[in-house]
Chains A and B, each alone.
Chain A
Amino acid sequence: MPNPILEVRDLRVEFPTRRGTLVALDSVSFAIQPGEVLGVVGESGAGKSMTGAAIIGLLEPPGRIAGGQILLEGRRIDNLRYEQMRRIRGREIGAIFQDPLTTLNPLYTVGDQLAETMLTHLPIRPAEAKRRAIEWLELVGIPAAAQRVDSYPHEFSGGMRQRVVIALALCAEPKLIVADEPTTALDVSIQAQIIALLKRLAREKGTAMMLVTHDMGVIAETADRVAVMYAGRIAEIGPVRDVVKAPRHPYTAGLMASIPPLDRRVERLAQIDGAMPRLSAIPQGCAYHPRCPKVFSRCAVDRPELMDAGTTDAACWLHYKSPAHA
């Protein structure tokens, strides 16, 4: 196995508040191989976006990395100074945000924003940057790119703006893209185009991608592997087909059962009773145990780490094999 582009080990993110410290992420570990697309799913507040923000080093204060390591090609990046991390952002890790209507600065042309990004990171001249800006706009499928390069963001539609955002994330040719809900704010008809574009560009450029979304459809379409997050931890991680077809964690199973199947009609969709706990009230033991249909005594006492569950890894005591049997 080649060395991973990104490796996250036991990441812990805390938010100090007046009423005590909230643990937003705990023991989050995963790796992304070169060219691989890792999907990250979960409900709102599960810590998906937080993981992405921690990786690009832009956690909102007072949030901070309280433990664990983040390694980019084997080099630790979680403890870098702001200026060192700035050189990595955009150059080695590109980011795509959720809402293309608000991620572009309204006062600068898209060409200027592209050129500015490239001039910050690449040893090229302004004329070359302008030329490449047009190339990138063509690459992300903006018609008449040579004219549109001097347009302002408000002159583009939402889908077109997200294409510009993708160009901005990729223009310094980073090795990894952190895409945080890149299609959530778009029309359904546009979503598929944007996903196809991301997939194609990532494959062509050999860019690895961490795709954060709550849309299982997007994950099934795009990702190679998927991590399911619940209450700040990874509940299950594995190849996307296995996780979708044969989930090993009861939470994943519940999620999958709540997706309406296309091939037959169902009267009622399955749903998971209750709600994800707030960060200030995560139960002891497995965070999912109050809602879990397969709960047993140990779940309320000990917290399960990720363990081998056959085709995937799941943080669930159902798959625990005592060392004696192993």
Chain B
Amino acid sequence: MFAFVISRILQSIPVLLAVALISFAMFAYVGDPIAIMLGQDFTEAQRAALVADLGLDQPFWVQFTRFALHAAQGEFGLSYRLSRPVADLIAERAPATLELAFCAAAVALAIGVPMGVYTGLYRHSWLSRAFLTFSLIGVSLPTFLIGILLILVFSVWLGWLPSFGRGDTVTIGWWSTGLLTWSGIKALILPSVTLGLFQLTLIMRLVRAEMLEVLRTDYIKFARARGLTNRAVHFGHALKNTLVPVITVVGLQLGAIIAFAIVTETVFQWPGMGLLFIQSVGSADIPVMAAYLLLIACLFVVINLIVDLLYYAVDPRLRTGRGRGGH
């Protein structure tokens, strides 16, 4: 097991290097930071000084090595736009995004899995049909539209929930949380639902499809023939066998939720990494964009590792490493 974790971490190094290369290449090809930083009036001497200062006159590979070494230590330099260390900026924004993402994932799982099980078990009930119709809407409506509709209903018409921001936050160490105040929780609801709705419908449809598949298997028939209760058959035997694909998708989607919270954060003016990224794109703030890309890549690597470890926990056939077929 330990060897497995080590080997996976080693395997992830080339992936991260590749992402580093791509994000570094942005420095050269996305906009001209020098022009943005210097503004309208500058002399050639000022420009040369700044180029030398930022190390942009060095050969490509020297620049990249320096970038990668610094990145490995968590240093991404100064934001061009805010003139503050990128690491600090991201550390400030990360709690907001992570909290939002985990709340969205929790909403998606807590509602999506039971709905999937229900629609799988009672395929022909009108409630299942209603769920499926609803899931089509969830899958096909774009996130920003859902967000705006929710704001219209719950903030503008009903006035129940705030339409932007995080509300009051409490800072614990370097982590700022909105989960401990009433206004923080209220502010979380709409963005979490907006961000989680697509995942919810995806999880529901996946669980449903997997349940239908598993319910047809011989071991489910045999479990019924042994006279086990419906509860044991459905949740003990059937649901557990749907978990491997569900874990895979949920893991990848969690990465996607964090990485692509950008739209939701923009709609709700959520002070997270996504909003930071969008603002950085607007002003070609390349260090921030590069750091963000690398961070997301790391996140995916970590989530994939956790997903792999969960497989081991769920499926004994993987544990012994000598699976002998069968279903």
Q: Which residue of A lies closest to B218 (CB)?
A: A102
With contacts A105-B241, A106-B241, A106-B315 taken as known, whether A97 is within 8 angstroms of B228 at the C-beta atoms is no
- The interface on chain A, measured as residues whose beta carbon lies within 8 A of the other chain's beta carbons, has a size of 34
Contact B227 A88 (CB under 8 A): yes
Cα A105 to Cα B238 in complex, Å, equals 9
Contact B317 A56 (CB under 8 A): no
Contact B316 A120 (CB under 8 A): no
B232 at the interface (CB under 8 A from A): yes
Contact B315 A86 (CB under 8 A): no
Cα A117 to Cα B315 in complex, Å, equals 21
Q: Which residue of A lies closest to B315 (CB)?
A: A107
From B218, B227, B320, give the contact of A89 (CB < 8 A). B227
Contact B240 A107 (CB under 8 A): yes
Q: Of residues 96 to 127 in A, which have CB atoms within 8 Å of B's CB atoms?
A: 97, 99, 101-109, 116-117, 120-121
Cα A102 to Cα B223 in complex, Å, equals 11
Cα A56 to Cα B224 in complex, Å, equals 10
Among A29-37, A149-157, A194-202, A294-302, the stretch that binds chain B is: A149-157
From B226, B314, B327, give the contact of A120 (CB < 8 A). B226
Interface residues on B, range: 20 to 34
Most B Cβ at <10 Å: residue of A91, A105, A109: A105
Question: In the complex, what's the smallest C-beta–C-beta distance from A225 to chain B, in angstroms?
Answer: 24
With contacts A101-B327, A106-B241 taken as known, whether A95 is within 8 angstroms of B219 at the C-beta atoms is no
From A58, A94, A99, A116, give the contact of B224 (CB < 8 A). A58
Cα A326 to Cα B236 in complex, Å, equals 60
Looking at chain B's contact residues, is the secondary structure mostly helix, strand, loop, or mixed?
helix
Contact A120 B232 (CB under 8 A): yes
Contact B218 A117 (CB under 8 A): no
Contact B219 A103 (CB under 8 A): yes
Contact B232 A152 (CB under 8 A): no
Contact B218 A103 (CB under 8 A): yes
From B225, B229, B241, B327, give the contact of A56 (CB < 8 A). B225
Q: Which residue of A lies closest to B227 (CB)?
A: A90
Question: In the complex, what's the smallest C-beta–C-beta distance from A54 to chain B, in angstroms?
Answer: 13
Cα A304 to Cα B274 in complex, Å, equals 79
Q: Of residues 207 to 248 in B, which have CB atoms within 8 Å of A's CB atoms?
A: 217-219, 221-230, 232, 236-237, 240-241
Question: In the complex, what's the smallest C-beta–C-beta distance from A87 to chain B, in angstroms?
Answer: 6
Contact B227 A120 (CB under 8 A): yes
With contacts A56-B225, A152-B316, A154-B323 taken as known, whether A107 is within 8 angstroms of B218 at the C-beta atoms is no
B325 at the interface (CB under 8 A from A): yes
From A58, A82, A154, give the contact of B316 (CB < 8 A). A154
Q: Which residue of A lies closest to B319 (CB)?
A: A152
Contacts of A82 in B (CB 8 A): 230
B326 at the interface (CB under 8 A from A): yes
Contact B222 A103 (CB under 8 A): yes
Contacts of A121 in B (CB 8 A): 227
Contact B237 A106 (CB under 8 A): no
Question: In the complex, what's the smallest C-beta–C-beta distance from B327 to chain A, in angstroms?
Answer: 5
Contact B316 A106 (CB under 8 A): yes
A165 at the interface (CB under 8 A from B): yes
Contacts of B240 in A (CB 8 A): 107
A168 at the interface (CB under 8 A from B): yes
Contact A120 B228 (CB under 8 A): yes
Contact B317 A90 (CB under 8 A): no
Contact A102 B326 (CB under 8 A): yes
Contacts of B226 in A (CB 8 A): 89-90, 94-95, 117, 120, 168-169
Question: In the complex, what's the smallest C-beta–C-beta distance from B124 to chain A, in angstroms?
Answer: 10
Cα A108 to Cα B222 in complex, Å, equals 14
Contact A154 B225 (CB under 8 A): no
Question: In the complex, what's the smallest C-beta–C-beta distance from B215 to chain A, in angstroms?
Answer: 11
Q: Which residue of A lies closest to B221 (CB)?
A: A58
Contacts of B225 in A (CB 8 A): 56, 58, 89-90, 94-95, 97
Contacts of B224 in A (CB 8 A): 58, 86, 89
Contacts of B229 in A (CB 8 A): 86, 120
Contacts of A87 in B (CB 8 A): 227
Cα A98 to Cα B183 in complex, Å, equals 60
Question: In the complex, what's the smallest C-beta–C-beta distance from A32 to chain B, in angstroms?
Answer: 18
With contacts A97-B221, A154-B317 taken as known, whether A106 is within 8 angstroms of B326 at the C-beta atoms is yes
Residues of A at under 8 Å CB distance from B? 56, 58, 82, 86-91, 94-95, 97, 99, 101-109, 116-117, 120-121, 152-155, 165, 168-169, 172
Counting from the closest, the 7 A-B pairs by CB-CB distance are: A90-B227, A89-B227, A95-B225, A102-B218, A101-B326, A90-B226, A152-B316
**21 A-B contact pairs sorted by A residue (CB < 8 Å):** A82-B230, A86-B224, A89-B225, A89-B226, A90-B227, A95-B226, A101-B327, A103-B219, A104-B222, A105-B223, A105-B241, A106-B317, A106-B327, A107-B240, A117-B226, A117-B227, A154-B316, A154-B320, A154-B326, A165-B222, A168-B226
5 more A-B residue pairs beyond the given contacts A89-B224, A97-B218, with a C-beta to C-beta distance below 8 A? A94-B225, A116-B236, A120-B227, A120-B229, A154-B325
